[in-house]
């Protein structure tokens, strides 16, 4: 069997199992072996198949940062530098703050291929710094950034970068501080700290000098030397304070970082111990209150937790609560591209968000997309109907959606009572009570053994009909094939109604039903 024939066979097999991660891995291994291994002499057909395979795989599993790196690397080795950059850009758009390795590889690639003006390289490093610079394990990235600036030969840029890094609680914070200490003597006084802090140190020096006993008169040069020495000592002390503060912040986070065993994406569910650790870590950062660190730990959690929607939901709620609506929208879009269609809670939340922001058509399209793949989702049908009822003031439009679900062969008979009850409640809002009651009577035969149907039928009748009609419905309940326990539950609802809404002497009806509920178990209800 040729590699192409093997590819065809494996891809056909995957068409019926699109979420089989191992199957996709095998397909990628096959495509990389085409023509004895992809290289610069590979034909256009093989290269196109390689791209198709990676695109399909990463469309299904977009948080697999290692495969994005592998994809970009292959494009580069095949001689397609621009395409390699496009792959990296797509990758960081999806993985964003979740992968230090991805951003570091991208920056390394950019350094390698950029000739002449290095401004684009520095801009990319800054983008990466904004995305993953506060990641606890981002020391590898900062090493690469420092290496770039050292190669460029601007010692001041290196110093300023180190000054920035030592304020971040990183796993290997101490060695960056040591580098800063070694470099500080080579930096001019006016560049050691910010202008405001330098002014503060000078003022402190002058104040201390005035408080000292009268000294021998010194030359202007001696005074300048003395002042610079004093200020440098103050800068050194300031750096020690920064080091101690950073050390404290590092130790605060170590209790969470040391428990992380799987920081990368995988389709397998993350065990509960690690999930709880991420919950605790997020709660800690929320209390600390640094917005960038909060987002960073959320981004790491959504990668590590795989296809679980818990942290995606928590993340968007945080962003919405803080009125960062554009960021929330971006996370919603990313989440929909990552989470399987079956994770409907996240998508429902996205639709509600769109509705709240006035983007009604987008909200409706979210529901339509779910129903295209999950036509049996009753919760989605009801939510879809609700948009019409609330926003478009079109109860009729909501009825159409519910009716379609009731008549659909995709929705199970067990779930249809839920749609029916929503349907008749909507009819009631339109004052079409007779039609609602006729429907309930009609479906009473179909849903004869549905506890939910009879319970809600009784409640609906209590809300919209007279006492006699409610009695009649309860009599129907007594004649159904529901279990004794289910009948007793419904009876208690009826008894409460009799006491609160019944006419004179209704208490006699109450005791009649009470006798049935509490009679000896051997007597049929």
Q: Pick the closest to residue 235 from 223, 227, 225, 224 (CA basis).
A: 227
CA distances from 463 to 267, 427, 456, 474 (A): 48, 13, 10, 14
Across the range 172-191, mean pLDDT stands at: 93
- Residue 308 structure tokens: 């679980």
Across the range 500-510, mean pLDDT stands at: 84
Pairwise CA distance, residues 383 & 357, whole Å: 17
What are the b/e assignments for 402-441, b being 16+ CB within 10 Å?
bebbbeeeebeeebbbbbbbbbbebbbeeebeeebbebbe
Of all residues in the chain, what percent carry a pLDDT higher than 70? 96
Across the range 13-20, mean pLDDT stands at: 87
Across the range 267-294, mean pLDDT stands at: 95
Task: Return the HEC string of 432-464.
Answer: CHHHHHHHHHHHHHHCCCCHHHHHHHHHHHHHH
Bigger pLDDT: 265 or 4?
A: 265
Please check the confidence at residue 210 and state whether its pLDDT lies above 70.
no
What is the model's pLDDT at position 203?
A: 80
Please check the confidence at residue 522 and state whether its pLDDT lies above 60.
no
Across the range 142-146, mean pLDDT stands at: 97
For 442-491, write each residue's pLDDT tens digit: 999 999 999 999 999 999 999 999 999 999 999 999 989 899 999 999 99
Q: Which residues, including other chains, have CB under 8 Å from residue 490's CB and lie 6 or more apart?
A: 451, 454, 455, 458, 474, 477, 482
- Compute the chain's Rg from CA coordinates: 34
DSSP secondary-structure letter at 480? S
Please check the confidence at residue 339 and state whether its pLDDT lies above 90.
yes
The pLDDT confidence band at residue 229, using thresholds 50, 70 and 90, is confident
Across the range 182-211, mean pLDDT stands at: 82
Domain covering 263-447: architecture: Alpha Horseshoe (1.25)
For 403-415, write each residue's pLDDT tens digit: 999 999 999 999 9
Q: Of the ranges 17-21, 251-255, 362-366, which one carries the lowest mean pLDDT score?
A: 17-21
Same fold for the pair 3-182 and 263-447: yes
- Residue 450 structure tokens: 């549905």
**Right CATH for 3-182 from 2.30.42.10, 1.25.40.10, 1.10.287.70, 3.30.930.10:** 1.25.40.10
3-state class (DSSP) for residue 364: helix
CA distances from 31 to 27, 39, 52, 143, 185 (A): 6, 12, 10, 35, 55
Across the range 77-106, mean pLDDT stands at: 94
Q: Residue 423 phi/psi, 5° resolution? A: -65, -50
Please check the confidence at residue 375 and state whether its pLDDT lies above 90.
yes
For the chain, the average pLDDT equals 91
What is the model's pLDDT at position 214?
A: 61
The count of other CB atoms within 10 Å of the CB of residue 92 is: 21
The pLDDT confidence band at residue 1, using thresholds 50, 70 and 90, is low
Asked if residues 29 and 63 have their Cβ atoms less than 8 Å apart, the reply is no
Pairwise CA distance, residues 321 & 319, whole Å: 5
Pairwise CA distance, residues 249 & 168, whole Å: 8
The pLDDT confidence band at residue 96, using thresholds 50, 70 and 90, is confident
Question: What ranges do the domains of the chain cover?
Answer: 3-182, 263-447, 448-524
The pLDDT confidence band at residue 392, using thresholds 50, 70 and 90, is low
Could you tell me the pTM of the whole model? 0.87
Asked if residues 441 and 476 have their Cβ atoms less than 8 Å apart, the reply is no
């Amino acid at each position: 069997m040729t590699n192409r024939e093997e590819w065809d066979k494996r891809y056909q097999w995957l068409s019926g199992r699109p979420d089989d991660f191992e199957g996709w891995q095998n397909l990628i291994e096959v495509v990389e072996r085409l023509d004895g291994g992809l290289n610069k002499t590979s034909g256009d057909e093989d290269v196109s198949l390689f791209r198709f395979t990676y695109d399909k795989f990463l469309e299904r599993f977009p948080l697999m940062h290692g495969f994005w790196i592998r994809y970009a690397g292959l494009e580069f080795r095949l001689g397609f530098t621009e395409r390699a950059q496009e792959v990296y850009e797509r990758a960081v758009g999806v993985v964003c703050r979740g992968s230090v390795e991805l951003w570091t590889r991208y920056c390394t690639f950019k350094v390698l291929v950029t000739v002449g003006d290095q401004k684009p390289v520095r801009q990319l490093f800054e983008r990466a710094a904004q995305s993953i610079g506060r990641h606890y394990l981002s020391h590898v990235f900062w090493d690469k950034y420092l290496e770039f600036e050292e190669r460029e030969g601007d010692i001041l840029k290196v110093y300023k970068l180190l000054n920035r890094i030592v304020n971040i609680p990183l796993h290997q914070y101490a060695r960056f501080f040591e580098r800063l200490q070694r470099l500080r003597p080579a930096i001019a006084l006016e560049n050691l700290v910010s202008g405001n802090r330098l002014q503060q140190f000078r003022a402190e020096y002058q104040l201390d000098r005035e408080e000292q006993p009268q000294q021998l008169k010194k030359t202007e040069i001696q005074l300048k030397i003395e002042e610079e020495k004093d200020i440098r000592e103050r800068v050194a002390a300031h750096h020690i304070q920064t080091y101690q503060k950073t050390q404290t912040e590092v130790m605060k986070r170590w209790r969470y970082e040391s428990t992380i065993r799987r920081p990368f994406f995988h389709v397998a569910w993350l065990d509960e111990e690690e999930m709880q650790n991420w919950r605790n870590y997020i709660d800690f950062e929320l209390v600390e209150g640094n917005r960038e660190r909060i987002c960073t730990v959320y981004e790491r959690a959504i990668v590590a937790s795989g296809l679980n929607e818990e942290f995606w939901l928590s993340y968007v709620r945080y962003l919405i609560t803080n009125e960062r609506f554009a960021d929330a929208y971006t996370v919603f879009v990313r989440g929909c591209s990552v989470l399987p269609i079956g994770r409907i809670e996240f998508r429902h939340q996205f639709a509600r968000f769109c509705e709240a922001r006035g983007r009604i058509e987008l909200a409706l399209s979210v529901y339509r997309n779910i129903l295209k793949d999950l036509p049996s989702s009753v919760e989605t049908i009801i939510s879809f109907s609700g948009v019409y009822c609330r926003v478009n003031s079109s109860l009729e439009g909501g009825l159409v959606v519910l009716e379609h679900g009731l008549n659909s062969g995709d929705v199970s008979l067990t779930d249809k009572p839920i749609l029916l009850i929503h349907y008749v409640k909507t009819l009631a809002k339109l004052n079409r009570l007779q039609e609602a009651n006729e429907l309930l009577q009609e479906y009473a035969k179909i849903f004869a053994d549905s506890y939910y149907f009879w319970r809600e039928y009784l409640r609906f009748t209590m809300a919209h009909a007279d006492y006699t009609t409610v009695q009649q419905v309860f009599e129907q309940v007594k004649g159904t094939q529901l279990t004794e326990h289910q009948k007793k539950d419904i009876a208690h609802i009826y008894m409460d109604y009799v006491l609160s809404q019944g006419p004179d002497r209704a208490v006699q009806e109450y005791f009649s039903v009470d006798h049935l509920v509490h009679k000896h178990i051997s007597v049929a209800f």
